[in-house]
Amino acid sequence: MHRSGTAMAWNVFQFCTALRGLGSIMILLVLGVVGVTYYVVVLTNYGPALYDGGLDSLIALAVLILFHCLLVMLLWSYFSVVLTDPGSVTPKWRPAVDEERGEADQLNGSDFSNLTADPPNQRIRFCRKCNQLKPPRCHHCSVCGRCVLKMDHHCVWVVNCVGALNYKYFILFLFYTFLETSLVTFSLLPHLRALFSDGEIPGTPGTLATTFLAFVLNLAFALSVMMFLIMHIRLVAANTTTIEAYEKKTSPKWRYDLGQKKNFEQVFGMDKRYWFIPAYSEEDIRRMPVLQGLEYPSKPDFDSQEF
């Protein structure tokens, strides 16, 4: 029995180690897809079309400007997810305490006894792997080997966990990826018609092959990313995560649902100027713990605009 448990733990360790190595390859894969797409759209098709004159030049210019703008936002969002810590639990973290009653806040914990037991009705949780208390909505990531605040999932595409502090960047990455891949798919359609026409096929076999490859890759990414984007928009609207949506299943009223507007602001901040860029205003950064649901006042009042 002991050997079986040891073997299972070793298999999990090997699996998590493999995921870490796979993540580095996935970053290269993302950059490779971007590189092939850039070569096809800019250098092979629409770049040379700028010198054709007339309407073709105007269309090429419009496609290239929009392509580069979306590409900048896509890469900015992507590397923001990769490089931003999703949120770690400090060893000194303790549940908020109501000073008047001398009790832990109900949203964080209600009983300090028997922490290691972690029964289903226990508010305060304890991570046996990290050997520390776990805040609400916090989960342990076996790949990263630590507890992550408001963890959504571990994403091998970004070699990082998606959690409280980079969830906005992840959604923006999906959003701009969908727009960019959709633009590329539609912009390459006229160039692919030549393959099925009776006239002379422009370009070399190599350029036609890379154009077809870029079209297939971007179409596949557009369709798959669209499904993920819709799913995460629904999660944001309900103020839940992928893990929580799976765990709560058919629970009646989600305790962190503050209404769609405030649920959205918890992820994207309250400053509308920053909603579509992977950054937060100084004011949002100052109130970040509250916006992300990481801290609650002793008597939470979620109906007010000011947390």
102 and 164 share a domain?
no
Based on the domain organization, do 73 and 198 belong to the same domain? yes
- List 140's β-bridge partners, or say none: 147
Catalytic residue numbers read 155
Question: What's phi and psi for 115, nearest 5 deg?
Answer: -65, -35
Is residue 4, in this structure, part of any structural domain at all? no
Residues 174 and 279 in one domain: yes
- Residue 143 included in any domain: no
Domain count, the chain: 2
Average pLDDT over residues 48-70: 92
Lowest mean pLDDT among 30-34, 52-56, 89-93, 103-107: 103-107
Residues 69, 191: one domain?
A: yes
With a cut of 50, say whether residue 302 has pLDDT above it: no
Give the pLDDT mean for 120-127. 65
CA 261 remoteness from chain centre = 20
Helix (H) or strand (E) holding 140: strand 139-141
Q: How many residues does the chain have?
A: 307
Please say whether the dihedral angle defined by the alpha carbons of residues 145, 150, 153 and 158, taken in this order, is positive or negative: negative
In a shared domain, residues 201 and 274? yes
**Cβ distance 146 to 140 under 8 Å?**
yes
Tell me whether residue 305 is in a domain: no
DSSP single-letter state for residue 304: S
Cα–Cα dist 136/108, whole Å: 6
Q: What is the DSSP letter of 273?
A: G
With 70 as the cut, is the pLDDT of residue 284 above it? Answer: yes
Of 87, 246, 256, 263, give the one whose Cα is nearest residue 165: 87
131-164 core/surface letters (b: 16 or more CB in 10 A; e: else): eebbbbbbbbbebbebbbbbbbbbbbbbbbbbbb
Assigned domain for 288 exists? yes
Residue 227 and residue 156 share a domain: yes
Residue 47 lies in a domain: yes
Residue 294 confidence class, pLDDT cut points 50, 70, 90? low
In a domain, 6, yes or no: no
pTM, two decimal places: 0.80
pLDDT of residue 303: 35
Residue 132 scores a pLDDT above 80: yes
pLDDT tens track for 73-113: 999 999 999 999 998 887 777 776 543 344 444 333 323 23
pLDDT tens column, 193-242:
766 665 555 667 778 889 999 999 999 999 999 999 999 999 999 999 99
Token pair listed for 224: 């798959």
My answer on whether 48 and 156 are in the same domain is: yes
Cα separation, 140 vs 129, in Å, equals 8
The pLDDT of residue 252 is 65
Q: What is the mean pLDDT of residues 57-69?
A: 96
Half-sphere exposure of 41 (CA within 13 A, CB side): 30
Q: What is the residue range of 100's domain?
A: 90-134
pLDDT, position 223: 96
User: Is the domain of 101 the same as that of 230?
Assistant: no
pLDDT band at 285 (very low <50, low <70, confident <90, very high): confident
Q: Are residues 80 and 96 in the same domain?
A: no
Asked, for residue 52, whether it belongs to a domain, the answer is: yes
Q: Are 147 and 134 in contact (CB under 8 A)?
A: yes
Q: Which of 134, 157, 191 is the last residue of a domain?
A: 134
Query: Is 139 domain-assigned?
Result: no
Identify the pLDDT of residue 247.
Answer: 76
If asked whether residues 76 and 219 sit together in one domain, one would say yes
CA-CA distance, 38 to 252, in Å (whole number)? Answer: 48
Q: Does 122 share its domain with 212?
A: no
Residues 128 and 257 in one domain: no
Q: Mean pLDDT highest for which of 116-130, 213-227, 237-251?
A: 213-227
pLDDT of res. 190: 86
pLDDT at residue 174 is higher than 90: yes
CA distance 84 to 71: 20
